Amino acid sequence: MMNTPFELGPIGQISRSVKSIEQANAWYGGVLGLKHMYSFGKLSFFECGGTRLFLEERETPVPESVLYLRVSDINRGYDELRSRGIEFDNAPHLIHRHADGLEEWMAFFKDPEGRHLAIMSQVLPPAAP
């Protein structure tokens, strides 16, 4: 696998800030009919045709969306993009662990205009012996 060229996958997630997570859940789920995946705290996630929609409650919503690009191996993607001159805000890190053990990992960086992007990967932890 290390000999195959590194390639970014499709956009995996787009984020939006909202004033009220309850109102947004009702609208995106009830009105638009998007499938609600899960929520925790002031965050909600919906399935949107293969792309995950991430809603975050903020007192003052921000106008930009974060583009999240799927990679099969987040550490390899991080190393490859750093070798291309990308400066990351942080190293790949665990964002959330689901009840079934599936982990969400991300690492954030900025485009030349200062807007955030992220690489993301879903990882199943190794099975216990």
Q: What CATH number does domain 9-65 carry, 3.40.30.10, 3.40.50.12280, 3.10.180.10, 1.10.4160.10?
A: 3.10.180.10
Per-residue pLDDT for 103 more than 60?
yes
Record the pTM.
0.68
For the domain spanning 67-124, the CATH number is 3.10.180.10
Q: What percent of the chain has pLDDT over 70?
A: 95
Work out the pLDDT band at 33, boundaries 50, 70, 90: confident
Give buried/exposed letters for 106-122 (b at 16+ CB in 10 A, else e).
Answer: bbbbeeeeeeebbbbbe
Within 10 Å of residue 60's Cβ, how many Cβ atoms?
Answer: 6
107: left (phi over 0), alpha (psi -120 to 50) or beta: beta
